[in-house]
Structure formats: C-alpha cells, structure tokens
Amino acid sequence: SALNAVTTMKLDTLILDWIGTYESTRILTAMRSCEQNAKSTVLAMVKGDREMQAATQAGANFIVYKPMDVDQATRFVRAAYGNMLLQRRRAARVAVDIPVVANVLEKGQVEGRIINLSVRGLAFLCNEEIKVGQELAIAFTLAGIAALVHVTGKVMNVIKADGLTRVGVGFSFVPQNESDVLEQWILDHPPEVPKQSAGFSNGKSGN
C-alpha cells in the first residue's frame, strides 16, 4: 500500500495524486513522520484550492493542478533535483577505519574504531558494554585533513556479535565549521549510494 511504502522505503520523491483529503493527508503525514523521508520532495497534484490548502498544510513541497502537463513536470524536476542530491548525500555512509576514544556519559572513556560515517551519524565498533540512549562525545580526524572534528551524539542502536559491540550514533551537535568540513569530505569521498526510489501514489492507502 502507499501508506506502507512511504514509511518503509527510502524515497527521493513522492508524486501524490490528491484524492480525498483524509487518505491523502494520512499518507503525507506518515511520510513526514518517517525519519528517512521527512525531508524528501513531495509533489501533490490537486483539483482545487481546498485540496491545495490541505496538501500545503500536510507538507507538500510543490503543488500543481490536474492535469499536469510536460512543462509543469519539467519545472518540477529541475526545482526538486537539488534537494534530491542533498538528501542522497545526507543518506550516504562512507566506510572508514578511524581509531578513536569515545567519552561515554556515565561510563567514561571507551576505545574503539569508527567504521562508517555520514553527515548525520556514525557507526562505532568496540568491545565494551554500551546501551541505547547513552550520550557520547568523540573527536577524530579525517584522511587528508589535519583539523579535528568534534561530535556529540546519542546511541540509537546496538548490535553485539563475535564479542564486539557495534554502536549506531546519531549526531546531536557538531560545530558548524566542522560540520561543513565533514560534509565536504564526504562529498569528496562518495560511497556507493544506497538504492533510492521515487514513488507515485494515487492518494489511497490500500490494505
């Protein structure tokens, strides 16, 4: 169903045929509540001003009146392209191997390695007990850059295997200048971007 798709799939763009305010609003609200699609681009195709207002309030980025012609579609793609690239960059994770010492709240220093990195978070591998919700701070250097990058974050997930703990960390604060350095470094070291999708919905959630 459309409702399932917008909450389980990573979408670059959703083109939503606005049919019935309740169901269409439900789909778009669910999409905006899903972390991976909260900032994805949404085009709503509407019939009138009432639908336009509902779509705008629900979080659509672009509104067109039906039927949409080729010129409108072309303008939409051009306008949305920059946001698509930005969201892909933010979703991408670069594989790294950076030895670090993390300062974990209520635990102290924990030695480990950063094994992947994005502008939003990182994966940290260690052999200590760390729990979801714990806060930590890490300073690290990037290949080819002398300056330290300082990040603070919260443990979002923990996976234990083969005596090691893999910790997923979401950033809560990175100094702006260091965030810019990190984003540019990731841009200069592009990973294989995860498969993305563009979705089309007729405004019905289905079963």
Query: How many CA atoms lie less than 13 Å away from 198 in the CB half-sphere?
Result: 10
pTM of the model: 0.57
What are 116's strand-pairing partners?
Answer: 95, 123
Residues 34 and 133: their CA atoms lie apart, in Å, by 19
Instruction: For strands 41-46 and 62-65, give the pairing.
Output: parallel
Pair 28, 3: CB distance under 8 Å: no
CATH of region 94-188: 2.40.10.220
Residues 11 and 66: their CA atoms lie apart, in Å, by 23
From-to residues of CATH 2.40.10.220 in the chain: 94-188
Query: Per-residue pLDDT tens for 97-155?
Result: 999 999 999 899 999 999 999 888 999 999 999 999 999 999 999 999 988 999 999 99
From-to residues of CATH 3.40.50.2300 in the chain: 2-91+194-201
pLDDT in tens, the chain (207 residues): 788 888 888 787 888 899 877 889 999 999 988 877 888 889 899 998 989 999 999 999 888 888 888 888 888 888 777 777 776 766 678 999 999 999 999 899 999 999 999 888 999 999 999 999 999 999 999 999 988 999 999 999 999 988 899 999 999 999 999 999 998 898 888 765 444 444 445 555 444
Q: At residue 32, what is the residue type? A: R
Neighbouring C-beta atoms of residue 174, cutoff 10 Å:
19
What is the third-level CATH fold of 2-91+194-201?
Rossmann fold (3.40.50)
pLDDT at 191: 64
DSSP annotation string for 9-46: S-EEEEEEE--SHHHHHHHHHHHHHSGGGTT-EEEEEE
